[in-house]
Structure 1
């Protein structure tokens, strides 16, 4: 085997390793996204359904008054269920 054939084999090997690395990075990104989703679910599970509703509306930028209208609840109820804006 001459040097040019060895060089081509080396390049093929490097390309194969690079391809494997690209695949592994894609897999790790997928795992990272799954972990993020699970973390969010675990975080939200510590709240009641009503608290989760207020939390999601808060994240979407709704004001307290808008939440009152959307959820048909009193201001004091919204405040007691809002674990972000009214946290101590």
Structure 2
């Protein structure tokens, strides 16, 4: 009986360690996801609003041509507005 008890205790220890490892892997995956989000935010912070809209569309993986056309139109409008402002400044 002593061998069986030792074996059961060993199995319990292994299962406990496996559970801890599983929880640690889940935590690390969450940390990894948070890091990805922070990297995206840092990357996006260097762009103008128009550029951000284009990148957000790409990052979100939107494939709808209607949504794509709307973003492109807004971006073109914002780009045209920026160009007009620059021309006024240069004069």
TM > 0.5: yes
Residue 40 (1) aligns with residue 40 (2): yes
Question: Which consecutive segments of 4 or more residues in structure 1 shift more than 2 A?
Answer: 54-57, 60-63
RMSD across aligned positions (CA):
2.8
Structure 2: where are the runs of 5+ without partners?
83-91
Structure 1: where are the runs of 5+ without partners?
81-88
Residue 73 (1) aligns with residue 83 (2): no
Count of paired positions = 74
More helix by share: 2
Following the alignment from structure 2 to structure 1, what is the Cα–Cα distance between the partners of residues 2 and 20? 27
Question: TM (normalized to structure 1)?
Answer: 0.69
Q: Per-residue deviation at 1:72?
A: 7.0
